[in-house]
Amino acid sequence: MGSYPEEVNGQKRMEAVPLKNGTGKGLNKHVTNFIECMNKRNPNTNASVEIGAHIAKFSALGNIAYRTGKKLIWDGTKFTNDAGANDFLIPITGNHGRCLKHNTYLNK
């Protein structure tokens, strides 16, 4: 197994963390928790909607970086160092920003 600490100017930015194989059951646990909370009318899921949206956004941003093959800088609304990476985004009406395309994983 390897590890992936990022290096900048020859300096590691964080401690290396060994890769671990997952069980493949994480999604089942989230779905089960979500269904249980719906059935009990309990809004307190193990992971909040805000956390889920945040993680989904960063996963998609990582996917865009992978597809462009570049280290990208995100300012919260757009990539500031690669205009082509912004082609993976769509405008948000009335918000003057951009969001990730729903089909980011399918196209390009």
Q: Which run of H or E residues covers position 93?
A: none
Integer angstrom CA distances of residue 48 from 18, 30, 42, 52, 56: 28, 11, 12, 6, 12
* Planar angle of CA 40, 25, 48, nearest 5 degrees: 45
Q: What is the pLDDT of residue 7?
A: 72
Q: What is the pLDDT of residue 108?
A: 41
- Mean pLDDT of the chain, nearest integer: 79
Residue 104 has pLDDT above 50, yes or no: no
- 63, 55 contact by CB (below 8 A): no
Q: What is the mean pLDDT of residues 8-25?
A: 78
- Number of Cβ atoms within 10 Å of the Cβ of 104: 17
pLDDT tens for 56-82 read: 888 889 889 998 999 999 988 889 999
DSSP states of 2-41: -B---EETTEESS---B-----S-HHHHHHHHHHHHHHTT
